Amino acid sequence: MNPESFSPRHFRWEYAEGVARITLDRPERKNPLTFESYAELRDAFRALVYAREVKAVVFASNGGNFCSGGDVHDIIAPLTEMGMPELLDFTRMTGDLVKAMRHCPQPIVAAVDGVSVGAGAIISMASDIRYATPEAKTAFLFNRVGLAGCDMGACAMLPRIIGQGRATELLLFGRTMSAEEGKAWGFFNDIVAADKLDGHAMEAARKLASGPSFANGITKNQLNMEWDMSLDTAIEAEAQAQAICMQTKDFKRAYHAFVAKEKPVFEGD
């Protein structure tokens, strides 16, 4: 992927100074996903593993909404006519989007305004940092369309973010979580006015991009990997990870800047 020339067909992509900005581009329908946008987003996040120029990603809202989930006409209707092999292909593909988001080393900042439901709620859940407007409405509404709440990693990730009891309620009832609840429960890092949301998210991403991006990628990787580790295993893994970071030029730059009482300039190497 060349982030400066990358031109996806099914979502909007902007790139400048180490920060990529993604938005879904169907605001008249509250930005639903299609088979094609699912797959192209998955492929883009997979490619980010090798795009070292990209230091951080913002997944932004568009037209007052984040994402309304799978398109009722373009996805839901065809799914009702598919057999099991085709259905499993689809559910694995949507899960692969979450895997790609979690496995790319760049921190992902979700800027959530308005509707964020179904797969839209999953995309914000799979991000690393989440900001919301007071108007944000988040719902894991799979139950309301006759499906299980265990979709795209929700039963694995959501309890770790907001707690088992709260996650169980949201997944079994499919009710809407307000922005205030989301912040109180740890789902949202902050609530920001709608006219300031995009700028706030971009400022956070630029701050991340100017930091030690290699080390940030290690932190994200360890946050993923240590879910399944014992404490002893996690401490050993972190010892090895930190030793790797101590070999980087960024670590040496930070030391020399500290001695000189200057602000370090990180280059991610």
**How confident is the chain (269 residues) per 10-residue block, as mean pLDDT?**
93 96 95 94 97 97 94 83 91 95 97 96 97 97 88 94 96 96 98 97 96 94 92 91 90 88 85
How far is 70 from 143, CA to CA, in rounded Å? 14
CA quadruple 183, 113, 57, 48: dihedral positive or negative?
A: positive
Overall pTM > 0.95 = no
Residue numbers of the domain that contains 147: 12-209
Number of folded domains in the chain?
A: 2
Question: Beta strand pairing status for 176-178 and 137-139?
Answer: antiparallel
Is 148 within the bounds of a domain? yes
Q: Does residue 5 lie within any of the structural domains?
A: no
> What's the pLDDT at 7?
94
Q: Are residues 143 and 223 in the same domain?
A: no
159 lies in the same domain as 223: no
The span from the CA of 72 to the CA of 189, in Å, is: 30
Same domain, 125 and 65: yes
Q: Is 152 left (phi over 0), alpha (psi -120 to 50) or beta?
A: left
| Boundary of a domain, candidates 183, 209, 235 | 209
**Sheet strands (E) in 34-101:** 56-60
In a domain, 171, yes or no: yes
Asked, for residue 100, whether it belongs to a domain, the answer is yes
